[in-house]
């Protein structure tokens, strides 16, 4: 008979034991299930739009330094212009906010590749082809030799997160379809679905080529070995779920005020930490995402929001609560998928290694919104 592992002394020991027994960071409850699946349905639609636009910018707006029409996906019409000016559109600015967070924090193979000699050589070929008829930009490039190179790196991040979100969008929409068919019945089913999607797409190549005057230039060739899971998904979770940026207007960026940690590693402004109450206020980037999701909520979830205490007057805040719950499910899938050994292992040594691994994750989540959602009444 295999001895049960010694009880963890970690402050989040109960959650660790739940994970070890096959559970999730988010407790099981019918309410949690409806919120998570419903909000991921809406998020899947929005992510699809975000990813299409990011890929368009990377491929079709390459080294366009003043891309006035980058949010139009190549379809510029009078109707779309008026919708854009009236702000009756998808808020693509939020996708760029996430992309820049991922680029700034770095990490993973994509970040390392973009500093490699191989990338710099490929980028310079593409830059030379794009600027050969533009003497002014050539002059700027000579004075500031890294300027255009950094713009190419930016294009690669546009593409990297665009390809990552394409997969996640399809995954979330499939989850909703399975829920509608009665195949998704628990939070654990949600986690298993996302985990399977991450694992199945783990080795999907992340590549980027641009066409300049009829000739194709590789920037992230398949030979670079960049893949979906380790080079986009994992750095994205770290940068956007955990670190992100302080929201302007809520804290001072003045160094003397000491309201922002001096060390980048101590940033905790990501999706798992953000206070939902400011959502809806000017200058808070997630407001844009929550506004986009209001348009695609499934009726069963929208009905729950309508019958809440404040009804639809705080719709974005309610969506943010549900969204954070869903992101804890996605985080669970990532944690289990990256575990050093299968979470159900019966080998004591492997159990101990997994335990230390889980405790490391819980250290990161101690100050997150995790404890808020441990009551099924929230």
* Residue 251 pLDDT greater than 50, yes or no: yes
Q: What's the rounded Cα separation, in Å, for the pair 34 and 322? A: 9
* Residue 209 pLDDT greater than 90, yes or no: yes
pLDDT band at 193 (very low <50, low <70, confident <90, very high): very high
**Burial zone of 188 (CB within 10 Å; 0-12 exposed, 13-18 middle, 19+ buried):** middle
pLDDT of residue 1: 40
Whether residue 70 is contained in a domain is answered as no
Mean pLDDT of 96-117: 93
Whether residue 66 is contained in a domain is answered as no
Whether residue 73 is contained in a domain is answered as no
pLDDT of residue 305: 93
Mean pLDDT of 7-29: 91
Residue with tokens 């997969």: 167
Mean pLDDT of 139-162: 94
Mean per-residue pLDDT over the chain, rounded: 92
Q: What's the rounded Cα separation, in Å, for the pair 370 and 12? A: 10
pLDDT of residue 35: 97
Per-residue CA distances from 261 to 11, 249, 361, 363 (Å): 24, 16, 20, 17
Sign of CA dihedral 367, 370, 375, 378: positive
pLDDT of residue 5: 62
Q: Count CB atoms within 10 A of the CB of residue 308.
A: 14
Residue 117 has which token pair? 């000699």
Whole-number percent of the chain with pLDDT over 90: 75
- In tens, the pLDDT along 34-62 reads 999 999 999 999 999 999 999 999 999 99
pLDDT band at 100 (very low <50, low <70, confident <90, very high): very high
Highest mean pLDDT pick, 78-92, 133-147, 202-216: 202-216
- In tens, the pLDDT along 275-313 reads 888 877 777 889 999 999 999 999 999 999 998 878 788
- pTM of the full predicted structure? 0.93
Please, are residues 133 and 18 in contact by the beta-carbon 8 Å criterion? no
**Number of structural domains, the chain?**
1
pLDDT of residue 375: 75
pLDDT of residue 4: 52
Whether residue 68 is contained in a domain is answered as no
pLDDT of residue 377: 59
Whether residue 69 is contained in a domain is answered as no
pLDDT of residue 119: 97
Domain of 213? 13-61+78-252+261-374
């Amino acid at each position: 008979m295999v001895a049960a592992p010694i009880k963890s002394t970690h402050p989040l020991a109960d959650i660790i034991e739940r994970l070890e027994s096959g559970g999730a960071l988010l407790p099981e409850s019918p309410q949690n299930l409806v919120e998570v699946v419903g909000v991921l349905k809406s998020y899947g639609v929005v992510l699809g739009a975000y990813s299409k636009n990011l890929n368009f910018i990377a491929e079709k707006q390459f080294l366009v330094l003043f891309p006035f029409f980058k949010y139009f996906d190549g379809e510029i019409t009078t109707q779309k212009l008026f919708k854009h000016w009236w702000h009756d559109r998808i808020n693509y600015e939020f996708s760029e906010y996430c992309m820049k967070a991922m680029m700034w924090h770095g990490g993973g193979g994509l970040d390392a590749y973009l500093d490699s000699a191989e990338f710099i050589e490929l980028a310079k070929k593409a830059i030379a082809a794009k600027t050969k008829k533009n003497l002014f930009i050539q002059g700027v490039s000579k004075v500031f030799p890294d300027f255009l190179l950094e713009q190419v790196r930016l294009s690669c991040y546009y593409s990297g997160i665009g390809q990552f979100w394409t997969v996640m969008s399809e995954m979330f929409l499939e989850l909703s379809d399975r829920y509608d068919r009665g195949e998704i019945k628990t939070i654990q089913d949600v986690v298993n679905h996302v985990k399977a999607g991450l694992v199945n797409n783990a080795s999907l190549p992340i590549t980027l080529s641009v066409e300049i005057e009829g000739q194709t230039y590789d920037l992230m060739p398949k030979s670079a070995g960049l893949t979906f899971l380790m080079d986009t998904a994992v750095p994205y979770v770290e940068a956007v779920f955990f670190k992100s940026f302080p929201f302007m207007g809520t804290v001072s960026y003045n160094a003397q005020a000491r309201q922002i940690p001096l060390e980048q590693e101590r940033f905790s402004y990501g999706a798992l930490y953000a206070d939902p109450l400011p959502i809806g206020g000017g200058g808070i980037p997630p407001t844009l995402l929550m506004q986009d999701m209001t348009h695609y909520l499934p009726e069963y979830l929208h009905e729950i929001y309508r019958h809440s205490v404040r009804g639809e007057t705080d719709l974005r805040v309610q969506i943010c609560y549900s969204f954070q719950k869903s992101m804890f499910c996605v985080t669970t899938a990532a944690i289990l998928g990256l575990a050093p050994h299968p979470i159900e292992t019966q080998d004591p040594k492997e159990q101990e290694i997994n335990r230390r691994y889980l405790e490391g994750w819980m250290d990161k989540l101690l100050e997150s919104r995790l404890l808020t959602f441990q009551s099924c009444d929230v």
